[in-house]
Amino acid sequence: MKEQVCWDEYIGLSFPVEGEMEDLREGRKHMGSQMIHHSIFIIISCPVGLLVGTLDVVLDSSARVAPYRILYQAPDSLVYWTIACGCSRKEITEHWEWLEQNLLQTLSIFENENDINTFVRGKIQGIIAEYNKINGIKEDDDTEKFKEAIVKFHKLFGMPEEEKLVNYYSCSYWKGKVPRQGWMYLSINHLCFYSFLMGREAKLVIRWVDITQLEKNATLLFPDMIKVNTRSSEHFFSVFLNISETFKLMEQLANIAMRQLLDNEGFEQDRSLPKLKKKSPKKVSALKRDLDARAKSERYRALFRLPKDEKLDGHTDCTLWTPFNKMHILGQMFVSTNYICFTSKEENLCSLIIPLREVTIVEKADSSSVLPSPLSISTKNRMTFLFANLKDRDFLVQRISDFLQQTTSKIYLEKDISGSCISSDDEVFTRPNSIISASPHKSLSSESDGERQFNLNGNGIPTATQALMTMYRRRSPEEFNPKLAKEFLKEQAWKIHFAEYGQGVCMYRTEKTRDLVLKGIPESMRGELWLLLSGAINEMATHPGYYEDLVEKSMGKYNLATEEIERDLHRSLPEHPAFQNEMGIAALRRVLTAYAFRNPNIGYCQAMNIVTSVLLLYAKEEEAFWLLVALCERMLPDYYNTRVVGALVDQGVFEELARDYVPQLYDCMQDLGVISTISLSWFLTLFLSVMPFESAVVVVDCFFCEGIKVIFQLALAVLDANVDKLLNCKDDGEAMTVLGRYLDSVTNKDSTLPPIPHLHSLLSDDVEPYPEVDIFRLIRSSYEKFGSIRADLIEQMRFKQRLKVIQTLEDTTKRNVVRTIVTETSFTIDELEELYALFKAEHLTSCYWGGNSNAIDRHDPSLPYLEQYRIDFEQFKGMFALLFPWACGTHSDVLAARLFRLLDENGDLLINFREFVSGQSQLRFKSCSCKHSINFFMPVTVIPKEWCIALGKGSQYSALRSEDVMTSWCASLWYCVYQQECVCQDLVFPPHVV
């Protein structure tokens, strides 16, 4: 509807505060106008009516982004430009005046309307550019549509600018039995929903850190529905246009929040993403692209066991020529900063990892009808890989060229720093249509046995320069000759495999490789293959000298981690001769201590000593260190932190798998409480603490090859093999005895090692010995019965369990804190729990949106939970306004500052929860008769005029309220707040105040 209006009679339209002017946005509007100068229209509009407001929300109209706007229109044009938008008449009045003074008067000097258009647009854009420059705002890739959504998000939910919107989706929110159609907004820290239907507004704000359950449900009415649970409520959303994309993003944001609860680290956006293409989707934000890139990189790293800082650049369909079967295998090529990888479409058929440090030649081969767009890549170990059917070969070659140049530069820089020279074998050649690069470093697989040795001990203790097993392997007597023959055949099988599929990091990895691993890795090759299969070889090759430097820096340093390490050193495989002398013990000490200094968030955890001691038996010290890094940081994430979160998560996953695969046993095991007990000991040590050593190392072989799914499969196979006996158990002790005796009977008849006594075998009873169980048969059975378990399924189940585990740990921590401090305060347990939740939320908010102090200073995990989290004054000021409703006057900041100084007992400008609660408890006057929860709904009174004079503030406070008498509680509060400053200023309180 079009209507002529004049400015003085128009209601409610506004111009934004200076600096909030938006970019000029084109849009066709039908609304009133007023002629100002030279046929230039300043158009003022406001959507009115319930129907319009409802359509704005349902149809995502930009009208609700800026309900009051000033638009610019040239004569005879249907195109309008938004000059400004706002929310109140006061704002529009101020800035309309600004327009008249700074813009409209200048228009009279122009005669050409095109010049007027250019001037107006240039003027507004100049103001925006100047504002961005002053405030440090950088250009981003967000589309105009998404920028409108950001403005809407901040206004609707009162979020600060620091809260970044990731994406928004149309959906229905079920409020009771009635669906409310609206928009879901997903930001880094919050899930929000807004609906405006026929005059009724609905808002919902949930912090990701408060979510305890997030899952997709299917109902008869709605096949796709997302359920969101918090500790106190549950919410349902449905009717999504793309529920898979929405749920995947929600999972990712919830994971970020859980990571923050674990590590106390805020989210940092990756600014190195390429610019957004012009044909990109309209609603894709730079932040959404960042999260999508992170998710793809995580899957890429997990698939190829790459270092945790490797970022995927892109992937494309292609074919790979495989010389071992003379076929072109269809698959995908992945390119990242330091690697070129390939995996076949058919699972386990073939995969390939080519580090760019190993590449010597990359060239475009001649195309043919049989081999279109081929690309040849050669490596230093004289292997050549032929890819074909590449859609954009030229672009791909250019990307690889850029990454090769970076890799070569880094390698030469390292050589320059070390003062060594590049040999003639490492020269860089040029060839038409080729990119050639060579690494000055020899690959690990080609190193000679005489590599440099180093002594990491300053006290004269001998240093192990090779795997401990080679030093302490006792020659087998003649009765073991058949086993030696079988071991020899295994070695020959691997050598034949290397000759056919290649050796080293660039080998073709096929199903045959996995089959050889499942049959057992030869003793002499175990260390090398562990490095290769786990990906630790890549981190070791790219960090030369890192372990030596770390050991040197950590020598002689003492902390809680080193104390725990010293206590457990002699408990690590004490039955093995390698750890019955100081050489083995010293090597174990160095590796564990070096890792504790590398990763102080983990430091040291029990069970790490057992795993590391086994790694040292088959790998050199530096190799064992990098295997431990791969284990703790990639393959068993969060397993070895102070709360063993990863192991608890996988314990929940194991319970779910047990319910699905051995349902007849699940209820019994739950009643006995056995699953939680066995899973921690089995998973944390990879069965090394519950199986005979020669059998457990076979499990470690399979783990480095296949990952955590092997451990789940094997655990289920053990339960399945003991179903009948477990069903007859009457208590958890009997069930544990059954499982312990079974695992102790697992043997490796192919092992050439002399039998090593196992801990379980020392627990003798009068029962008949358990029949022997062959480890290879057990592993084969686990694949036959439970091989359908996929890695992606495990990750989905891990996400579900991670929410539950971390929130349970948070609740346990809260209860422990409250139980510790409840006797020191006058608060009830419920009040303390609410205070703790508020305090923790304020701390997390500082991590979200930053603060005046460093986040690391505000959180010290080495302290007791009562003192771990600390807040600075800015955070306390927000809590002060929440907890004291009477602190809303003009001087509330002064009161907050003085109260903060009073609570800050140690003067470090931070207060912990103990200080916070102690101060709150003191301020709560015991004789107060109106004690209503922690919000202190006390009579709002102000100090009388004569008291203000005594405080040195004149009569400024008396004007706030005409009350002449304060309650005793408020008088006590004022005395506490001003006590310190009054002493400093020699002020004297009237007797009735004191």
- What local confidence, expressed as pLDDT, does residue 767 receive? 58
Measure Cα distances from 268 to 250, 292, 634, 847 in Å: 18, 14, 21, 11
Given a cut of 80, whether residue 358 has pLDDT beyond it is yes
Structure-derived torsion over alpha carbons of residues 334, 346, 299, 335, reported in degrees to the nearest 10: 0
The type of residue at 102 is: N
Q: Residue 555 and residue 862: Cα distance in Å, rounded?
A: 21
Cβ count within 10 A of residue 378: 18
- Distance from first CA to last CA of the chain, Å, rounded? 69
Q: Residue 903 and residue 910: Cα distance in Å, rounded?
A: 9
Given a cut of 90, whether residue 766 has pLDDT beyond it is no
The type of residue at 6 is: C
Given a cut of 60, whether residue 853 has pLDDT beyond it is no
Least confident of 215-219, 621-625, 643-647: 215-219
Confidence of residue 324 (pLDDT cuts 50, 70, 90): very high
In this predicted model, which residue has the larger pLDDT, 281 or 291?
291
Most confident of 77-81, 265-269, 631-635: 631-635
- What local confidence, expressed as pLDDT, does residue 657 receive? 94
- What local confidence, expressed as pLDDT, does residue 153 receive? 93
Q: What is the rounded average pLDDT of the residues 446-454?
A: 40
Confidence of residue 753 (pLDDT cuts 50, 70, 90): confident
Q: Are 639 and 680 in contact (CB under 8 A)?
A: no
Given a cut of 60, whether residue 703 has pLDDT beyond it is yes
Q: Residue 636 and residue 611: Cα distance in Å, rounded?
A: 12
447-456 contact pairs (CB < 8 A, 24+): 454/548, 456/548, 456/551, 456/552, 456/555, 456/590, 456/621
User: Quick one: what percent of the chain has pLDDT higher than 70?
Assistant: 71
Q: In whole angstroms, how large is the CA radius of gyration of the chain?
A: 35
Given a cut of 60, whether residue 46 has pLDDT beyond it is no
Which among 215, 267, 220 has a CA at the least distance from the CA of 246? Answer: 215
447-454 contact pairs (CB < 8 A, 24+): 454/548
Q: What is the rounded average pLDDT of the residues 616-633?
A: 95
In this predicted model, which residue has the larger pLDDT, 552 or 56?
552
Cβ count within 10 A of residue 720: 18
Q: Residue 751 and residue 337: Cα distance in Å, rounded?
A: 42
- What local confidence, expressed as pLDDT, does residue 785 receive? 94
Q: Are 880 and 902 in contact (CB under 8 A)?
A: no
Q: Are 898 and 850 in contact (CB under 8 A)?
A: no
- What local confidence, expressed as pLDDT, does residue 272 receive? 62
- What local confidence, expressed as pLDDT, does residue 962 receive? 31
- What local confidence, expressed as pLDDT, does residue 858 receive? 59
Q: Are 616 and 464 in contact (CB under 8 A)?
A: yes
Q: Are 967 and 941 in contact (CB under 8 A)?
A: yes
Q: List for the chain the helix, strand, coil content (%; round to 5).
A: 50, 15, 35
Given a cut of 50, whether residue 43 has pLDDT beyond it is no
Q: Are 252 and 291 in contact (CB under 8 A)?
A: yes
The answer for residues whose C-beta is within 8 angstroms of residue 132's C-beta and 6 or more apart is: 138, 139
The type of residue at 887 is: A
Q: Are 562 and 593 in contact (CB under 8 A)?
A: yes
Q: What is the rounded average pLDDT of the residues 972-994?
A: 39
Residue 204's SS3 state is: strand
Q: Are 681 and 611 in contact (CB under 8 A)?
A: no
Given a cut of 70, whether residue 334 has pLDDT beyond it is yes
Most confident of 55-69, 277-291, 904-918: 904-918
Confidence of residue 923 (pLDDT cuts 50, 70, 90): low
Q: What is the rounded average pLDDT of the residues 446-455?
A: 41
